[in-house]
Amino acid sequence: MSHVTLGIERLLGEKRPLIAGRRVGLVAHPASVDRRLAHTFDLLVAAGADVRVLFGPEHGFAGEAQDMEPVGGEIRGPGGLPLVSLYGATEATLSPTAAHLADLDALVIDLADVGARYYTFVWTAVLCLRACHRAGIDAIVLDRPNPLGGEAIEGAPQRDAFLSFVGLLPVPNRHGMTIGEIARLAARREGTADALTVVEMRGWRRGMTFDELGAPWVMPSPNMPTADTALVYPGSCLIEATWASEGRGTTRPFELVGAPGIAAAELARRLDAERLPGVRFRPASFRPTFHKHAGRSCGGVQIHVTDRRAFLPYRTGVALLVALRAAAGGAFAWRRDAYEFVTDVPAIDLLAGGDEIRRGVESGASTAELAAAWADGERRFAEARREFQFYE
When pLDDT is averaged across residues 127-137 and rounded to a whole number, the result is 98
Calpha distance 7→77 (Å, rounded): 23
When pLDDT is averaged across residues 95-100 and rounded to a whole number, the result is 97
Q: What integer pLDDT is reported at residue 329 of this predicted model?
A: 85
When pLDDT is averaged across residues 96-118 and rounded to a whole number, the result is 97
Confidence of residue 1 (pLDDT cuts 50, 70, 90): very low
Instruction: Note the pLDDT tens digit of each residue in 277-328.
Output: 999 999 999 999 999 999 999 999 999 999 999 999 999 999 999 999 999 9
Q: What integer pLDDT is reported at residue 304 of this predicted model?
A: 98
Q: What integer pLDDT is reported at residue 344 of this predicted model?
A: 96
Confidence of residue 74 (pLDDT cuts 50, 70, 90): confident
Confidence of residue 76 (pLDDT cuts 50, 70, 90): confident
Residues of the chain with CATH 3.40.50.12170: 7-219+384-388
When pLDDT is averaged across residues 375-385 and rounded to a whole number, the result is 96
On the question of pLDDT at 96 being above 60, the answer is: yes
Neighbours of 102 (CB within 10 A): 10
The architecture that CATH gives domain 7-219+384-388 is 3-Layer(aba) Sandwich (3.40)
Residues of the chain with CATH 3.90.1150.140: 227-375
Full 3-state SS string of 78-127: HHHCEEEECCCCCHHHHCCCHHHHCCCCEEEEECCCCCECCCCHHHHHHH
When pLDDT is averaged across residues 328-338 and rounded to a whole number, the result is 94
The runs of H, that is alpha helices, within the chain are: 7-11, 40-46, 98-101, 121-135, 179-190, 227-236, 264-272, 313-328, 347-352, 356-363, 367-372, 375-384
Confidence of residue 70 (pLDDT cuts 50, 70, 90): very high
Q: What integer pLDDT is reported at residue 357 of this predicted model?
A: 98
Average per-residue pLDDT for the chain: 96
Q: What integer pLDDT is reported at residue 75 of this predicted model?
A: 82
On the question of pLDDT at 2 being above 70, the answer is: no
On the question of pLDDT at 39 being above 80, the answer is: yes
Instruction: Note the pLDDT tens digit of each residue in 203-220.
Output: 999 999 898 888 899 999
When pLDDT is averaged across residues 69-95 and rounded to a whole number, the result is 92
Q: What is the CATH number of domain 227-375?
A: 3.90.1150.140
Please, are residues 157 and 172 in contact by the beta-carbon 8 Å criterion? yes
Q: What integer pLDDT is reported at residue 102 of this predicted model?
A: 97
Instruction: Note the pLDDT tens digit of each residue in 47-62.
Output: 999 999 999 999 999 9
DSSP 139-173: EEEE----TT-SS--BSPPPPGGG-BTTBSS---S
On the question of pLDDT at 225 being above 50, the answer is: yes
Q: What integer pLDDT is reported at residue 211 of this predicted model?
A: 84
Widest CA span in the chain: 64
Taking the whole predicted model, whether its pTM rises above 0.95 is answered as yes
On the question of pLDDT at 9 being above 50, the answer is: yes
Instruction: Note the pLDDT tens digit of each residue in 140-176.
Output: 999 999 999 999 999 999 999 999 999 999 999 999 9
Of 360, 362, 338, 361, nearest to 350 (Cα)?
338
What distances in angstroms separate CA 5 from CA 11, 64, 92, one per listed residue?
10, 28, 35
